[in-house]
């Protein structure tokens, strides 16, 4: 049976969601190698772990490796979204070709976070050498989870 446009969008969203589940592990494997035999710096879906992403972006920018920045920023965006989902009821959606998080508030209101926007701000801050770059995603996280409905248990 041929796919309709809606089916194709759903397939893209589903692939994005599956990849997002693994974004933290991918970032750890590529940028946080073991320092001691049994110790590894973890991305644990906490607000504090978001500060570890700016140095990863800076390292990627400095490398000038073709295609690396796109891959890393996609994984950073996915990790940000998954971290928000761990703390507030939110769901991935795709609108007009953009991936977004639909965040449900305890009041019943629903907000939408276009996930590429804070990542673009992070890239700009890192490029400028802004010392507050490490805090940027934490601030996005705070805004996203403020008054959020409790997350759905996985």
Condensed to tens digits (0 to 9), the pLDDT of residues 92-138 reads 999 998 999 999 999 999 999 999 999 999 999 999 999 999 999 99
Tokens matching residue 19: 């990849």
End-to-end CA distance of the chain: 32
CA distance 93 to 114: 10
For the cut 80, the answer to whether the pLDDT of residue 150 exceeds it is yes
Q: Is 126 or 153 the better-scoring residue by pLDDT?
A: 126
Q: Cα torsion for 146, 70, 62, 133, to the nearest 10°?
A: -10
CA distance 122 to 52: 12
Condensed to tens digits (0 to 9), the pLDDT of residues 15-56 reads 999 999 999 999 998 998 776 555 566 899 999 999 999 999
Cut 0.75: pTM above it = yes
**Closest by Cα among 57, 109, 105, 56 to 84:** 105
Q: In the sheet where 90-95 sits, what is the strand order?
A: 90-95, 98-104, 110-114
Give burial (CB, 10 Å; 0-12/13-18/19+) of 86. Answer: middle
Model pLDDT, residue 11: 87
The band of 8, judged by pLDDT with boundaries at 50, 70 and 90, is low
């Amino acid at each position: 049976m041929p796919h309709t446009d809606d089916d194709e969008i759903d397939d893209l969203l589903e692939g994005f969601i599956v990849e997002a589940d693994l974004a933290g592990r991918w970032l750890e494997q590529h940028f946080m190698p073991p320092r001691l035999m049994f110790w590894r710096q973890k991305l644990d879906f906490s607000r504090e772990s978001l500060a570890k992403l700016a140095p990863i972006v800076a390292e990627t920018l400095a490398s000038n490796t073709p295609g690396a920045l796109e891959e890393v920023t996609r994984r950073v965006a996915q990790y940000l979204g998954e971290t928000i989902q761990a703390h507030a009821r939110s769901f991935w959606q795709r609108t007009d070709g953009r991936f977004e998080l639909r965040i449900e508030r305890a009041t019943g209101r629903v907000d939408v976070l276009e996930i590429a926007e804070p990542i673009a701000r992070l890239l700009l801050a890192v490029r400028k050498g802004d010392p507050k770059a490490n805090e940027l995603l934490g601030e996005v996280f705070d805004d996203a989870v403020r008054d959020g409905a409790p997350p759905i248990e996985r």
